[in-house]
Amino acid sequence: MTRLRIRDAAPADCDLIAQWMIAMAWETEHKRLDPPTVHAGVAAGLGDPAKARYFVAMREADTAGRETIAVPAGTLMLTREWSDWRNGEWWWIQSVYVGPEHRRQGVYDALHSHVAALAQADPAVIGLRLYVERENIAAQNTYRSQGMDESGYRIYESGF
């Protein structure tokens, strides 16, 4: 029998998370990212809680000898945004990735539920937000299944 355990990411997870971010950008947006830049970005996020907080979903199984084998199955990153309108923080779900062999097995649900429970337990948090590529219908359906609704905002950017 396998189960999912969610844990905080550690610096030792940097290589894997960076690989997953590169894979996610290609799968969802057909964007090729610069591996050294992504690795440095993940390392910066892991090293500074003001920048980000990463979580890793571990698929665990007991072997016949009662030893537990744990395999990383997916990740999620949180960032924070202050809202003066509501005098609280929005937690942004970002950089979600579930390994192909673990998809449609509840990995994202477990990550989302973990983060939602943390957010609901923190009186400074007013809600969860995320953004999703317009064409990523599967992800949109997953987020709706978690009780999330489209916010009505469009995101604009100016890259430098």
Q: What is the pLDDT of residues 124-138, one digit of tens each?
A: 999 999 988 888 888
Question: Residue 119's pLDDT is what?
Answer: 97
**How does pLDDT run across 61-108, given as a tens digit for each residue?**
877 767 788 999 999 999 999 999 999 999 999 999 999 999 999 999
- CA–CA separation, 13 and 16 (whole Å): 5
State the pLDDT confidence band at 123, using cuts at 50, 70 and 90. Answer: very high
- The CB density around residue 21, as the number of other CB atoms within 10 Å, is 21
Q: What is the mean pLDDT of residues 29-38?
A: 96
How far, in Å, are 129, 150, 152 from residue 147 at the CA level? 11, 10, 15
**How does pLDDT run across 133-155, given as a tens digit for each residue?**
888 888 888 899 888 888 888 88
- The CB density around residue 57, as the number of other CB atoms within 10 Å, is 26
pLDDT averaged over every residue in the chain:
93
Phi, psi torsion values for 142, nearest 5 degrees: -60, -45
Question: Residue 47's pLDDT is what?
Answer: 97
Question: Residue 155's pLDDT is what?
Answer: 85
- CA–CA separation, 57 and 131 (whole Å): 21
pTM (2 d.p.): 0.89
Query: Could you tell me which residues come within 8 angstroms of residue 49 by beta carbon, excluding any fewer than 6 positions away?
Result: none
Question: Residue 67's pLDDT is what?
Answer: 79
Question: Residue 4's pLDDT is what?
Answer: 95
